[in-house]
């Protein structure tokens, strides 16, 4: 009679060990399951062995980019509605999909910024050619022109870096709203 409880205990232990050993370990291509910051942090923590620290930082930056997207698309949202909109962009996507979306957003912003510099650059170049300017005006325009060219060169470098990193990721992210 005493052997039955002991046998049941061993069977239960064996079942638990089988269940634990059969559970799938976290993988990089797992879909993110998060509907708020706490769940997102928990998901990241559960995947810390398959997502290196430098990429976790990149994922945080991606979340910031998506926050900015939601904030500009839907200004004035209360915090709960904001979190819901943000995590609608993240939940159910892989890390690579979230990163790709983030890089697409950043690339688009830098391209727009560079296009917006074109008229300023043209105006400064035109103004610098005017012969009736005082020396102070010429110097101010030359300084502004140099600073703008430096800023454009920096943003073009940023764009190259963003495009290079984006090329390393899957070609098409999941559609976002």
**This prediction's pTM:** 0.76
Instruction: Give a yes or no: residue 76 inside a domain.
Output: yes
Q: Are 94 and 31 in contact (CB under 8 A)?
A: yes
Measured distance CA(15)–CA(148) in Å, rounded: 68
Domain that residue 56 falls in:
26-167
Instruction: Give a yes or no: residue 30 inside a domain.
Output: yes
Instruction: Give a yes or no: residue 175 inside a domain.
Output: no
Identify the CA nearest to 174 among candidates 117, 119, 96.
Answer: 96
C-alpha count within 13 angstroms, C-beta hemisphere, residue 176: 24
Instruction: Give a yes or no: residue 6 inside a domain.
Output: no
Farthest CA pair distance, the chain: 111
- pLDDT tens string, the chain, 177 residues long: the values are 456 667 666 666 665 555 444 555 567 788 999 999 999 999 999 998 888 888 889 999 999 999 999 999 999 889 999 999 999 999 999 999 999 999 999 999 999 999 999 999 999 999 888 888 899 998 999 999 999 999 999 999 999 999 999 999 877 554 454
Q: In the prediction, which pLDDT does 110 show? A: 97
Contacts of 144 (CB under 8 A, 6+ apart): 124
Q: In the prediction, which pLDDT does 174 show? A: 46
Number of domains in the chain: 1
Measured distance CA(138)–CA(144) in Å, rounded: 10
Instruction: Give a yes or no: residue 147 inside a domain.
Output: yes
């Amino acid at each position: 009679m005493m052997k039955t409880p002991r046998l049941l205990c061993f069977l239960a232990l064996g079942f638990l060990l089988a269940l634990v050993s059969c559970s799938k370990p976290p993988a990089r291509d797992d879909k993110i399951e998060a509907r708020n910051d706490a769940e997102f942090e928990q998901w990241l923590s559960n995947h810390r062995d398959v997502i290196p620290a430098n990429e976790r930082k990149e994922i945080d930056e991606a979340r910031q980019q998506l926050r900015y997207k939601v904030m500009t698309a839907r200004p004035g949202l209360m915090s709960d509605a904001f979190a819901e909109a943000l995590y609608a962009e993240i939940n159910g996507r892989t890390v690579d999909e979230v990163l790709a979306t983030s890089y697409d957003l950043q690339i688009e912003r830098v391209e727009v910024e560079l296009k917006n510099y074109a008229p300023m650059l043209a105006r400064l170049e035109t103004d610098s050619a005017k012969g009736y300017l005082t020396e102070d005006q010429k110097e101010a325009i030359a300084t502004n022109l140099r600073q703008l060219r430096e800023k454009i060169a920096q943003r073009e470098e940023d764009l190259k870096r963003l495009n290079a990193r984006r090329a390393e990721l899957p070609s098409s992210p999941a559609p976002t709203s």
